[in-house]
Amino acid sequence: MVAFGKQLAGTSTSIPGLVVYDLPVHGDNRGWFKENWQRTKMIAAGLPDFGPVQNNISFNDAVGTTRGIHAEPWDKYVSVATGRIFGAWVDLREGPTFGAVFTAELDPSRAIFVPRGVGNSYQTLEPDTAYAYLVNDHWSADAQAQYTFLNLADETAAIAWPIPLDEAELSDKDRAHPRLADVTPMPPRRTLIVGAGGQLGLALQRALPAADALGRADLDLSDADAVAAVDWKRYDTIINAAAYTKVDAAESPEGRAEAWATNVTATATLARIATEHRLTLVHVSSDYVFDGTVEVHDEAEPFTPLGVYGQTKAAADAIVTTVPKHYIIRTSWVIGDGANFVRTMASLAERGVDPSVVDDQYGRLSFTDDIVAGILHLLGIRRAQATDNPSPSSSTGAPHGTYNLSNEGPVQSWADIAREVYVLTGHAGDRVTGVTTEKYFAGKVAAPRPAHSTLSLEKLAATGFRPRPAADALRSYLDTGSAPDTGSAPDKDSA
């Protein structure tokens, strides 16, 4: 008997992500009608926007027909068209809930969302039962090879089948599935770091050692065959830390082409992949998308890039916003492992050089460890997870969108920061002389730079994350031996 008059509502179960939904069914003397899956209403009720691409129907004419237990490499929404079924679900994913069991009866007024890696099985309780399921990947023999199976009679799961299995209709394959002790849990999808060799890429690898990391030599995003050869289904998140940052060189014909290829064309490829495979794309942006006439930049400010580098970063940002699940991390004056402004100033101080440093460009430093901490926070990855399960949790992540992310603290000029580096390394700060941008670049081929690069951090703070004050981060950076370095400052952070 179909239950009429229910309100659309989701109920969580003992298995994380497995949610039962009551469905409104409307009936009269002619029969009944229901909206089996209605994206807008069901998302509002808590159903993930899982992007189904295939609809399958299973028909069972005999009571006791039993199928499973199969954990599939995709998400699944199961509902009954006619009849009634007993369902049993077992968590077969890596993690603390491996082996957890949930059972329930489903009829046309009750459906269930089954996340990837949760084993599902169904036993018909009425003749001529049909149930439908939506999945967000296409079935193939290769995909089936990624299934994880559990025996229906497993003693650990101890499922109380309404119709005993020795009286039920089972396939020989289902009878032969392994017991829980012999099941290899389905691993989570992974995080991919692109641009692994840069300052931020190195910091990301330290924080996410279980993630896959690719440098330019590992994957040429302009090579269609190389891109197609990657198994993108094994990932749920791409962090794009790759960028062409030679601000002045980007103004040359050769540099302009390389900047557009790296910052725009490659990013467009990642955006297409992320959209096609429903991945989260984290993309690192720059203060150079603004001309610097506004003293403090918030996330809603329109783009006003001055030079080629800024234009390419603005174009990439616009592309990334088309990805349904994206985070644009806008940062400034990045400091990490490798050549950077702080290392250059520390090296000059040690070598007895008294530099002239620009004093009419203002902003805050962004240390890579703090950028990474902010990215993990936005994705919902706790530090404890990062080592062995670098996979975002949709229940704890922040809303998708653009977020400014630099260190906190007073606004400084490059000259102010240089003096601070000199003092912290035991030298006199007055050895640094301030100079205007115009005078510093007189006679040089240089790209225009924003005068004001300070980023508002209010939107980030509203998510519950506050980066360290830049002064504290700088002190720690210098104390831990990250500087000095004899390399020159990178073009983007030239004083």
- Interatomic CA distance for residues 125 and 127, integer angstroms: 7
Locate the domains of the chain by residue range: 9-182, 190-493
CA distance 266 to 264: 6
In angstroms, the Cα distances linking 251 to 93, 158, 280, 293, 318 are 50, 68, 32, 21, 21
At residue 490, the pLDDT reads 43
Distance CA 377, CA 373 (A): 6
> Residues 489, 248: contact at Cβ < 8 Å?
no
- Whose structure tokens read 């994380």? 16
The model's pTM is 0.87
Task: Identify the segments of the chain with pLDDT beneath 70.
Answer: 1, 382-396, 481-495
Residue 351 DSSP code:
T
Task: Name, in order, each residue with C-beta under 8 angstroms of 461's C-beta and a sequence gap of 6 or more.
Answer: none
Model pLDDT, residue 387: 53
What integer pLDDT is reported at residue 488 of this predicted model?
Answer: 40
Class of the domain covering 9-182: mainly beta
Query: What is the reported pLDDT for 216?
Result: 81
Of 194, 197, 199, 481, the C-alpha closest to 340 is 199
Class of domain 190-493: alpha beta
**Neighbour tally for 122: CB within 10 Å:** 23
* Per-residue pLDDT, 1: 66
Q: What is the pLDDT of residue 493?
A: 41
The per-residue pLDDT for 482 is 53
Q: What is the pLDDT of residue 161?
A: 97
Instruction: Write the pLDDT tens digit of every residue in 138-196.
Output: 888 777 778 999 999 999 999 999 999 999 999 999 999 999 999 999 999 999 999 99
pLDDT tens-digit map of 77-124: 999 999 999 999 999 999 999 999 999 999 999 999 999 999 999 999
Instruction: Give the active site residues.
Output: 70, 133
